[in-house]
Structure formats: structure tokens, C-alpha cells
Structure 1
Amino acid sequence: MNLLTEEARVADQRSLFGEMAAEETGSVKGTQPVEAAAKTADARAQAAARAAELRHLLDYHAYRYYALDAPEISDAAFDKLLIELQQIEAAHPELVTPDSYTQRVGGYVSEQFTPVTHMARMYSMDDAMNLEELDEWLARTEDALGAGRVAYTCELKIDGLGVAITYQNGAFVRAATRGDGTTGEDVSLNVRTIKDVPMHLSEAALAHMGADRSAPIEVRGEVYMPKGSFARLNAEADAEGREPFANPRNAAAGSLRQKDPKVTASRHLATFIYAIADTAPLHVDSQHAFLDWLRRAGFSVNGSVARCTSPAEVHAFCADALAHRGDLDYDIDGVVVKVDSFDQQGDLGFTARAPRWAIAFKFPPEEKTTVLRDIRIQVGRTGVLTPVAEFDPVTVAGSTIARATLHNLDEIRRKDVRPGDTIIVHKAGDVIPEVVGPVLDKRPEGTAEWDMPATCPACGSPVVHEDGEVAYRCVSLDCPAQLKERLLHWVSRGCMDVDGVGDELIDKMIEAGLLHDVADFYHLTVDAVAALDTGRTYLKDDKKKGVSAGDSIKVGATIAQKVVDELTRSREQPLSRVLFALGIRHVGKSVAEVIAQRFLTVDALAAASEEDIAGCEGIGPKIAASVRQFLAVPENLEVLQRLREAGLSLEEDLGAAHAQAAQETGVAADLAEAQPLAGLTFVLTGTLVNRTRDEAGAALKLLGAKVSGSVSKKTSYLVAGPKAGSKLTKAESLGVPVLDEAALEQILATGQIPAA
């Protein structure tokens, strides 16, 4: 069937609200228990989809912050996403993955520098965004260690770039960025140019180490750019017509990652050192004593530090630091409060990503007033329409701002901001411009409320707004505002898996007019890709290549041929990969596999009703509505038709899919085909050693089993690893057989349940 037949068009036009009303009035068949089970399954599916989305968002924004030094959201907004993911994973432990941001330290390692493994992991820091959260942490700490028995070291939180510097026998060995917490980037040559970094430690400090003076030590701290250096750097940028740095933190990060150390030296960076990988060789027992050793060793240690013996003294230090932050020649964004005693720090330990014995109290941002001139729409990479405030330029926290996101219509209504208002603005986290709200007594008469447009300003397609959601979206594959991110998602490893096509190459293809949607990938030629300008030039003449200095460097035939070959290979990907690659909202890899296995062809899916789609196991009305909305856009159907004409099958070969899944999970293909665990329900809990719970669940499903997130009388077996909790208790109370990981591995290898 052609995707654009009248039958498909009629199916596309079914009323979402009519079907929902029918469901509510009981016209959908099924008993109440079945409906309850479906709702539970739907809730789990939604939780899994939201967790995957949050992990993607956290990774994206961490990359923007750590790797590009160009954050798009505030620290508070990032923390909100992280807290939401922690809550989902706490409610659904089976959704926890090893690569989840809750299980690791933020940060990225650039490929431009040699990787360096730190002597010990560099952790992130939990944040207290207000005094209430700080007091909660102080109370937990006092409860754990004993009220009145805890002293705290309070230090200013420097807004710079984390660095680790290693010394051997008192001599500088190397320096590295924090990176991902385990591995950083070797920036030794650049750090050598920072004047306050000692190349040799003082004899007094080495003598204090005694017999351990030859032991390697790795100190940690912050590289920052003084405000005076920042002002000079941006003045030079203005004079030369270059883009100025947004703030000193970004300037410091960019300066430390220069390939030429002379450039770093010219930026006049400085450091404050405050931590070490291992305190044992120093023979000190507290943070305060350790800071004294750092000073004796020759390091730059911030002078604004205090040892506080009560929460009241901690409050006083924070208040004083906030009052005098503007007097400093460097940026701070808070106060770090640490338990002073190293023994007590050891008693408290760490979470997966941060020490329990320290917290960063974040300062509120500086505020200014200005006039809101307009609210314009920005179409994001996922099709979300984001209103953006445009106002008279104003200087806040060291830089001039004239725009700020208003996030969504609900936020605009909540803040009641309107074009023409005098508004209060600040920088959230001293980085991200934000509109606080209007000054109502300065509002001009007759100022009207602002409303979202009915059509996408980038492509003219109707805007979609789902009940219960704040976002307004454009779901057209033809929307130019979403093009790059859709293209990147299409070629990514989990989707069509096109090796060699990345961010830079896609930018060049778009600029050259080669790509307008994902179907255009399959019309690329070797000659067209080879002729693309990389944006770089030859530095000297090369007679063999027939080029001169200054000539532009092209992509070339070798890379172009590889790209075309990879795209050709991707035509063989199954329907499930295509559905995931299309970027349909709420449709992740697992959901795409369920849909593909149920409908087998894109034609059948295009003709299916929303109720048909919602009938798939684990797929509820929200996912079904999203799929139907996507398929209701004629431009999307046209792209699918062009993909078919380009040679993609748009069909699901269950045999091939099972074979691929068997290879990925290590399950024998013949066992997968036999489905020996059909009719059995497994629940996984605790920590598994050989594979994650997600991997174990996927392998069990491949053998025909159902994997549930909760224990009930219908549970056939509970697989329990170490640290199993309430699920194990419930299974034992219900008489559900409990298996260990060894038994699980035997089941996956043989398809048979081991004898008790």
C-alpha cells in the first residue's frame, strides 16, 4: 500500500479526544483488573521513557558545560533534571543503568589532548540551592556524627575549571583537567605557564611528609581567570572584531585548553588549590590542617576560609561571603562547606557521584531591571516551541545580555510577563540569563497577554499540544529548525548506525544544500560529499597534491566513499531501528521494537488506529497519541515514502531481529527461536555482576519470558543479586522461587530452570 492512500489519510484523521472519551465511558473492552494492570504497565513504560529522555538531556547539557564550555541551562535547571531522574530510579530500580548520570561524575574528556588517569576519582559536589537545603544537609550531618561533635571548613566556591596537578619527589610532573572524574585531559604545558603553580614544592612541606616525601601526590583545585584579565581579554576581542567570552569561567576553560601554551600564558590565569587525591603521605588529619600544608608547600590557597564549630557559624560565613562577592577580583558562585575531620569524612563516605561530607551552597544571582520589547519563538531540536524574551541590553554578572528563554506558555502565565513590561532579570547560576518577573507598577496601560502561535514559525506546520503537557511542538520532519538534530539522531549508533557521519560533516552537508530531511542521506553521491569544504585550509604548498598554502581542504574521495558505503549498509536496518531513528516523541529503542514486532510494516502502522497502537504491551495512550500525531503529518508520510523509494524496506524481519538481539545479549539463536521461557514472568532485583538488570531482562525476553518490575502472585521467579531489598522480602512472603545470578546465567545458557 502506498503511504499516501486515502485509507491511511482517513485513519490519520481520527479524533484523539473522541477516542479518549470513548475509553473513559467504558466502550473499551476489558475487566477492571486488566485495566489496572495496563495502567501499571503504562506507568512503567512512561517512567522508562522519561528516564531515557532525562539521561539524554543530562548528558547533552553536561557535554555543553564541560566539553564546550557553553552551557544552555542553569545549574538549578540541571539539578532539577537530575533530581527527577533520581526519583524515577528510586521508584523503579530496574531502570537504573551503569551509564546513568546518577551513577557517575559529570564531565567529558576531549580527544584533542592525551588522556590522563587520576590517582583517585574526582567527585562532583551536591548543591544546596538555598538555606533550607543547606540546613537539611547540616542536620543530616549532625545526626550522623553527633550534634556538637562536628567542625566544618567553609571555603569560597571558585567559578573556574577543575584541575589535578601531580608531583613526584616534590617536582611538577603533569596537570590534567577533571574530565569525567576518572580520566582527564593532559594540559601540563599550559598549566606550567600559570605563574602561581609551583614547579617544586617547598622543602618545609616535603620534610613534613617524612618518609613519604618521595610518594607521588595529586593536588586538586580550580583554574580561574581574574576579572581584570577577563576585561582585558574581551576588550582585545572587541577591538579585533571577535566574539567576546560570555563570562570568566568560560574564558578560563577555553584558555586552559589552548593548543599553544603561549596563548594560555597571555591570558593571565590563576589557581586556588584546596584538595588532594590521598592525604596519607601528608600526615594531616583535617581539611584546615591540609590547607595550611598547601600554603607551606607554595600553592595558592584562598584566604577566605574559616573553621566553623556550629551551623550558626556556617550561616554567618555564607552571609559574609555573599555580601562581599562583588569586592573580589574573581568570580564565586557559592560556598563549599566540608566536614573538617578526615576521620569523620571517612565515616560519611560517598554516594555514586558526590561526597556525603561536603556540600556547595549556591548563591542567588544578581538582578537588574530592563524593558521587555518582544517575545519570539525559537523552535528547538526536538520540535518544542520555546518563547524567548528580547529586552533592552543590560549588564548582569559581568556580561551584557539581551535575550532569555521563557521556557513555555505556562511559565509566561505564571510570571505574568508581557511585551512592554519593565522586567527583572538575572543570571541563574551566574551563567544563564533568566526573567524573574515584571515590575507591575510600571506596566503600560492596555498591555495584552502573549499567546503561543497556532503554526510553527519555521515551517508553517500546525503546532501540536498534548493534554497534560506544557510543551507546544512541531512534529514535521520537514521543519528546518529541527533538521540538524534529527539528522544526527538518524545516523547515531542506536539508530541507523552510520559510522563516520558526525556533527561537523552534517553541518557542511546542510550548508551545501545536500540535506533537507533524513531521506536525502540516500541520495548523496561520492562526488558531492568529496567536494564539501571542511572549513580548514592548507598551511603550506604541497606540489604532490597540487595545492598551495591557503587553499581550502575538501572532504575528499576516501572519506566520501566510506560515508556512502555506510549509508548503503544502513538501508538494511529493520523497521524498529527506523522508527527509533525518526525521533518520534516517547518512542525509544524498546518502544520501537514493540511497535515493529506488532505491526511488522510501516504501512500497517500507518493504517492503525490510536487504540490499536495503545494495545501493544507496555504502550499506553500517551505513546500511541504521539505516534498517531507523527503519522498525521503529510510531510512525514512523504519522507517515509521517499525512504522506501531509496531502498529501505520499512519492514521488520523477526528472524533477523531475533538473530541480532541474540548476538547482542549472548543468547543462542536456536534458544531464542524456541522461546523456552514463554509463559514465565521474572522479576530482577539487587546488583548483578555479569550483566546489568536491563541486559538480563532483554536476554530473558528474548527467550520468551515476561520481565516485570514488581513482585506478585503471578511472578514465576525472582532473580536476586546482592543488596536485594523489599522485592526479595515480598517474594519470600508469597512463596515465589528465588534464583541467584548463577542460576540466571544457567537459564540464559540452556533455556532451562535449574533444579532446586
Structure 2
Amino acid sequence: MSEATSRQPRNALEGDPHQAHIRWSQLADQIEEARRAYYERDDPTLSDAEYDRLFSELESLEREHPELAGPSSPTATVGGAPKGSFAPVAHQRPMLSLDDVFSLEELHAWVRRVQEDTGRERVPMTAEVKVDGLAISLLYVDGRLERAATRGDGRVGEDVTANARTISAIPERLTGRGHPRRIEVRGEVFFPTARFQEFNAARVASGERAFVNARNAAAGSLRQKDPSITASRPLSMVAHGVGLVEAGDGPAPFAEPATQHQWYRLLGEWGLPVSPYTTLVETSSEMDRRIEELGDRRSALVHEIDGVVFKVDDLALQASLGATSRAPRWAAAFKFPPQEVNTRLLDIRVQVGRTGRVTPYGVMEKVLVSGSHVQRATLHNAQEVARKGVRIGDLVVLRKAGDVIPEIVAPVESARDGSERPFAMPATCPSCGAELAPEKDGDVDLRCPNTAHCPAQLTERVSHIGSRGALDIEGLGDEAALALTQPEADRDAVAAALVEGHGVTLEDGTRLRLEGAEELPHAQQLAAAEALLPAPQPPVLTSEGALFDLRSEDLRDVMVWRPVTVDGETTDDWAQVRYFWTKAWRRSTRRSGPAWIHVDPEPAKNLLLMLEERERAKSQPLWRVLVALSIRHVGPTAARALAAHLPSMEAIRAADADSLAQVDGVGGVIAQSVHEWFRVDWHREIVAQWAAAGVRMEDEAAEEVSDVLTGLTIVVSGAMPGYDREGAKAAIVARGGKAAGSVSKRTTLVVAGPGAGSKAAKAEALGVPVIDETRFQDLLDGGLPALGIEAPS
């Protein structure tokens, strides 16, 4: 089943019982089918986020039209029916679901209802991780495991006793004393996340279908007809409650706990695995903090979680609050923003990095995951694409954990219609057309050998030239470098927007829309959209050597693609705009005549700033020019050392590797890299072009400075009068000191100026001397003695 669903506006149904009933039937059918796929086939066709959205819409519809609600509604039932492969087990007490909340406001509203219903201002609660696994019921009789069952529809589950016995975390016999005669322990069987990737890789290698996620790997593993297969998989389990409890008579009488957390302590004493992440909270602010803590740690836990469950701790209060037909009123589950969603993979393309490495990535229909909209996701390399088994046109599972780059996890194979096609790694570079090849035998990655003129590699180098550590050219950042070298970089995102039904406006006002996209096979939609766009424009800069020769007029017609925003909010539409010059077309205010009229564009402020800064950069010291050349291993420290010892580009170029290696602070690896760089023709051509354009290639004779900071490690933080950040470091290095970036026990001194941040506080905590910026020049002139500070022994 496709994730795409009807999205009829809610207000269109208000007051129209007939339309409301039609929509209710659509939602109920989709939810029930999704449940069957999830619970019975272990092959989900909807992401959790989409399922939650549909379920929430159904609840809203039933609140507006109560006549639609009933005992057969998905809002009144739980889970899915047993598969039929296992014997049915009737639960003596229903295994209910949980009511979900999706915001702190909803959670706080639930807490207020609990306080009102119990008449208590403070209601202690357990805060527990919501394990994303398969619910299980374990019945122990006289301390021995008698039966294990899945939740099923909440009233009837499946007998999986033989398989459960193979899970080492589930004890065959309870330890300790004081067990009740019969007790039903409820918990979650899960597949450890650390083992999931390697397990899936082995399945694909043996020709089996990959599991979509760890939850389905757990469900599929526990529901094996052959228990030996279950035993071969690294399943585990965590207990999160009890159902039936019959005390009975025995030598050590059973004393039932009074609270939820006491139950967990008792279950742990009996040898059952309980969560180490459970805590007690009493206030809404404590709940908020716990949600934030667990959210930050989410990707580091031993199992998948999709939220935090809060339960009233007092069992007597639980009983007084009761339950609905599907969920207890004394518990609620706060759901995290989804880390996994489903979306359509429109194409698989490749991108080229600064070193020439070629990496496949997916272009997808835009989707919200972990709080941000995603349209591209990495696929690492061709072998990874094959391992995951994804095809162009697939409905795929997309995952994003925290700040991690979005990744395509697996295809939803049951959603295929036969139009999908496999990905083939290109033989040539998509950026420049050069033939791709491994850098050396045995390499998995392919690389573009056209280092000199490949636009993708050039973009990174041009951006580096403008960076603060190199020539520090304001206005020449990542976006400007992209406009100069790859103006069509967002072309695939623009085409994807057309596929999704959004509009694209060209610079002359022409409005583009893709008609009939839904009638095309998914694997062909992106190509159809791209055919509507103007021909790709060539870049104006094909070598960094020409950077200082560019004139304002050369950049007049550079166009880029930009998302359209209204009042600061993105609209998902795109527009073609000039990057360096003002608009050449504007909307007419006349009622008669053309809607758009041509006007003379002018250089934009960002272009004028960049050109002014570029002129200033020509006089930067030699070490900055060396850094700007992107010589491997040559950063500011090595560049300063080289320029101090050999104060001209010609001298550095003429020196052999052995001579360069003798420079203090350079060494053999850097020396060899510098020597080899100058042996490349196009490298020397860059230097020649820059020199002809007036870039400084030789430092003036510097006045001698003392070595008063020899052997000292100095940290400079914040603004220093008369120095920028790199200049302050250079002044320290020139006097024999080490300019460190962080404070440690080995730091000799910290100089703290305005905006110093936490480094001064850390220094004081470590007992490291701290001076302010007004004494920095005293330090440079006379070292520690000028400050009255004793040199370290």
C-alpha cells in the first residue's frame, strides 16, 4: 500500500455527514490494512508517522461526528488479529494500547486531567522509554514459564512459547522468593540496534529480503515456525508491566507492591530484565527534562525507542482512573518526531566531493523527519545500493537519527508495482564527464580523476579560498562558490518539486507545472520534470586560476534556483533568480499590457562587496596564499612556517623535498606534498594567473622578533586589539610559542578578550593563569616576565 493518502481539508467535512462517512470509511480501511501489514505480515507499508497522522484524523472525525464511532472502529480496537500460524491464546486481562500525545502541550493537558480526576496536585509517575518492539505476555506458574503469547488484537494473541524459550533474556524459572502462584509479565521483545545492520546485510547476501527496521526484525524473528531460527537471532526482551496476578499459598507469601516502580524492582529481583532508563517524575517540568534527555540519547540506547511513556505510579490511583476499551487512562505515550518515515525515491544520482570521490544519493519526494524536511539522502556507494536492494521508483524507509545525515534504510518491497528500475553506477563523472575509476586497486569508491576542471571539486576549492583561514574574502562563501562553478546544483530538487505538484517560476515570469505526473511510472517522473526546465547553464568559472580575473559583467547572467518563501515560510515552490545581479524582470503594475516587463539589472550589493574584498585579498601575506592553494596537508601552521623560512612563492617552489622538510614545523609528509604539488602543470598555472592578477607572491622582509614565547602554549579567546584571530595566533608562533585552540592542563596561559566564552572559566578551574586583552601586547613584547608570571618549570 502506498503511503500517499487523500488529504481532504477538515473544514470540507464539517456539517456534511455523508462526506464525513465516506472519509471515515477511507481512513478505517487504510488503518486496518496498515495494521494487518504491521502486525500480521511484519511488512509495514506505512511509516509510524503516517499511521499516527491517519489515526489522529480518524479520532478528530469521530469527535466531530460521534455517530461514526463504535466498537468496530480502529479507535476502539488494538493491534491486529493472530496470523493463524500459531495457536490462539485468549488473554485473561486485555493487553491494551496507549494513548499517544505529540506535543508537550498535549502531555501537560493529560497531566491536568489526571490531577483533576484524582484530586491531587502532585501525582508521581514513572517515566519509561517506549521500546519499539513486539509486545509479549509471559505467564509464570509457580515460578516457571508456562506460556508466551503475542498481543494480537489485545484480547487474543498467538502462542509463541517455544520461540520465547530460546531468548536468553527471558528466564525459564524466576529467581528469588515470594513469587505469586500465577503472574503474567508483559514486556517488549526487541532486536538490538547494534546488531541490526550486520543482520540485514547477511540476509541480503544470502538472497533474503531485508527487514525494514529493527522492530520488524524482532517480530519476524519471534514468529518463526522453527524455534531454531529464532534461537539464531540476537533477540532480547524488557519487562514493562504485569497483567494477571494470583497470589496463591506458598512458603514465602507474595506481597503485592503498591506502586509501579516497586513492581519493576521486584521483577528485577526475580531475574526478569527491566529497563535501566526508568525514572520517577512529579512535575511537568521534570517530565519535559526527561523527554529531552532521552531524546538526546535516543540513538545511543540498546534498542529502538519512539517515545517516553508516563504512568501514574500509585497502583490504587491507576485502578481509580480505569481504562477505555483500548487504553488505560493512567498512562500516556509522548511520541518523538519520527526518525523513520516512508517516501518515494524518484531517482538515484551521484555527487562528487572535493577529493573526487563519487557518492550515490537518493532524490525523494520531500518529507518531514526528525523535525526537518528532507529531499536527499546518502546511499554511500554502489555496493551499499545493491546491499539495500533499493530501486528507482521505490517507496523507501528514510531514517534520520538526531543530527545524522538522512539515510535510506530499505525499500518497502510489498509496495512495488513493477515500474521500478535498478540503479547503475555511472561510468563517467556527472559533473565533468571524465571516466571514473578507483584511486587504487581494491578501492570500493570510484573517483573523478579530473581534479583540475571538475566543477564539483572546483566548488570546494573556491569556497576554501574565500574562507577565514585562507584569503578571507567576504562574500565568497559556499553559495557564491556554487553559483560560480555549479549554478545548476539544485536542479534535481527543483524537478522533484514539480513531481510533487509544486510550481517553478523562471526569471522572465514563466510559470512551470508538471501535468499528469501521477500517470507516469515513478521511475520516470523526475526525467519528465527536468525536461520542462531550461537547458542547464555552463559555469562562469572553470578554474580557480581565473578567480581574480572575473569582472562584474561576466557574472551578469548567472542564474541559480532558490526556494520561494512567503513571510519567511517556505512554500515548496522554486524560482530561477540572478545570483550576482538584480532582477531583469519584474511584475507589471498596469492592468493592461504584459504581466512582466524587462528592466535593466544592476550589480547586487553582495557582488560589489565580494569584488572589493577580492581586491583587498591580493595583498594578504604569503602564508594565506599558500593556504588558499589547497595544497594537501598545508594548513595555517605549516604555511606560516614555510613563509617565514622561505618568504617567496618562487623560493618555496624551487626547494626540494629534503630542504622543505628541514623547516621547523613542516616535516617529511608536508614537504613531500608541497614538492609534488608544484610539479603539476595546472597547479603552477594557477600561481602564474594569480601573480599576473596582482596577488602577493612574496613577503616583505619582516623585522626581527624575539623568541620570548618559546616552549609556551598560549590560548587566545575573544577579540585582541590590533589583531584578527589568525593574526594573533601568528604573532604567538612568530615568537616561538604554540597557539592552541583549547584549554588543558598543559596550557601555559589564556588571553581572554571580549567574547571569550567558557575558555577563561575552564582555565581558572584548572589553575591556568588568565590575562585580559589589554595585556596581550605586553606578552608579545616581553613574555611571561613582563606580566609578572613565573615561567613553568
TM range, smaller chain = 0.3 to 0.5
- TM-score computed with the length of structure 2 as normaliser: 0.44
- TM-score normalized by the length of structure 1: 0.46
Ranked by relative contact order (alpha carbons within 8 Å, sequence separation 6 or more), the top structure is 1
The structure with the largest alpha-carbon Rg is 2
